[in-house]
């Protein structure tokens, strides 16, 4: 094979072309034009690209060798260099910062005194879904999941968060109606509950509360209340009054205030509260997952400032939102922790303190 001379073209510019390395599924989607790829972010954000279901970070990667982009010259006897690259962009699936959804909706929170919003003109209150999508670096499906996880409510096309006080009051009234009318909590007649509360709460709110606290967040005519979700909310109500309480006193009150035949178990507190055994008498501390930093390193730092050692199940309850759906947590845990006592507990990888 004869050698072909390579020459720099007239008007040559360095980095005139940008290269992006795409994951296989994105390359296939782009070639098939099956769905749009959208860039999201403000001027202060690192850019991300989203599909309908996933979010990808766009990172600039330096190459170890200079890349020359060439093309045949007009005389067909030489190759002309029209750009030189020392880096390229890569797209890595990432976990979106969905805390921004919570932050945005917190500005549009419905409290106990705001029930007229369910009936009156909203006057700009709430956020449309497209307004959320413009502000949050996440795919539409991920934003929808975040709205569901934070139990946001949609009223006439606008999204709101509900204050914990309103949720507690509405749930308490639903449970009181069930008790006074003799309704079974695993076959709760929703329309009858709505009828009993129609003078105090909007139908949309009651149906929303029942859905939130139903198994699978779903029901037809009758709802099966989720024992774990209901008991956890009762625990939240107690801990909001006293964020740190002796374990025995907390358990006594929790069992007393849990409805019907529901039985509170400490496993239900994971992701909501911690049982601190580092002191002489055990205490329960209110630590909701949404109160912790969204940055992984800062999240682990905050967790280990609360407890020196963690059981695996307790730890993962505070980490589930840090990895993309379907991805394992183990690499993240291994990066920031080390196992001790034959794997029974995890401590900070940076810790040099003796275990208590």
Q: Residue range 253-267: average pLDDT?
A: 94
| Tokens (6 digits) for 147 | 């709205």
If pLDDT is split at 50, 70 and 90, which confidence band does 65 have?
confident
Residue 139 pLDDT greater than 80, yes or no: yes
H, E, C per residue of 295-320: CHHHHHHHHHHHCCEECHHHHHCCCH
CA distance 103 to 137: 13
pLDDT (tens digit, 9 = 90+) per residue, 213-245? 999 887 778 999 999 999 999 999 999 999 999
CA distance 65 to 142: 38
pLDDT at residue 287 in the model = 97
If pLDDT is split at 50, 70 and 90, which confidence band does 72 have?
confident
pLDDT at residue 279 in the model = 67
CA distance 132 to 270: 29
Cα dihedral sign, 276-278-283-285: negative
pLDDT (tens digit, 9 = 90+) per residue, 317-348? 999 889 877 788 999 999 999 998 777 889 99
Residue 301 pLDDT greater than 80, yes or no: yes
Polymer length of the chain: 356
CA distance 286 to 111: 21
pLDDT at residue 235 in the model = 98
| Tokens (6 digits) for 113 | 């005194």
CA distance 101 to 132: 7
Q: Residue range 104-111: average pLDDT?
A: 94
pLDDT at residue 355 in the model = 54
pLDDT, mean over the chain:
89
Residue 123 pLDDT greater than 80, yes or no: no
pLDDT at residue 7 in the model = 81
pLDDT at residue 97 in the model = 82
Q: Is the pTM of this model over 0.75?
A: yes
């Amino acid at each position: 094979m004869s050698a072909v001379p390579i020459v720099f073209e007239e008007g040559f510019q360095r980095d005139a072309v940008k290269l992006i390395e795409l994951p296989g599924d994105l390359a296939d989607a782009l070639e098939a034009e099956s769905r749009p790829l959208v860039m999201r972010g403000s001027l202060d954000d690192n850019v991300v690209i989203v599909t309908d279901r996933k979010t990808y970070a766009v990172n600039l990667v330096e190459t170890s060798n200079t890349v020359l982009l060439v093309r045949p010259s007009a005389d067909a006897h030489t190759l002309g260099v029209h750009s030189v690259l020392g880096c390229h962009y890569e797209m890595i699936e990432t976990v979106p910062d969905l805390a921004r959804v919570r932050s945005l909706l917190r500005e549009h929170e419905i409290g106990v005194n705001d029930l007229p919003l369910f009936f009156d003109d909203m006057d700009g209150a709430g956020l449309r879904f497209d307004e959320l999508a413009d502000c949050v670096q996440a795919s539409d499906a991920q934003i929808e999941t975040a709205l569901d996880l934070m139990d946001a409510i949609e009223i006439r096309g606008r999204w709101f968060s509900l204050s914990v006080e309103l949720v507690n009051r509405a749930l308490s009234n639903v449970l009181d109606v069930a008790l006074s009318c003799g309704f079974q909590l695993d076959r709760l007649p929703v329309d009858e509950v709505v009828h009993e509360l129609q003078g105090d709460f909007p139908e949309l709110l009651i149906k929303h509360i029942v859905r939130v606290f139903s198994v699978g967040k779903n029901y037809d005519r009758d709802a099966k209340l989720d024992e774990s979700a209901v008991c956890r909310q009762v625990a939240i109500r107690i801990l909001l009054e006293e964020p740190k309480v002796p374990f025995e006193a907390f358990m006594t009150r929790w069992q007393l205030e849990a409805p019907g035949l529901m039985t509170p178990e400490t496993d239900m507190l994971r992701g909501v509260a911690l049982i601190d055994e580092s002191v002489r008498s055990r205490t329960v501390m209110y630590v909701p997952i949404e109160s912790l930093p969204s940055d992984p390193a800062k999240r682990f730092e905050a967790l280990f400032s609360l407890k020196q050692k963690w059981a695996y199940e307790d730890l993962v309850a505070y980490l589930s939102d840090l990895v993309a759906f379907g991805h394992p947590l183990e690499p993240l845990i291994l990066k920031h922790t080390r196992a001790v006592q034959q794997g029974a507990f995890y401590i900070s990888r940076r810790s040099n303190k003796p275990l208590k």
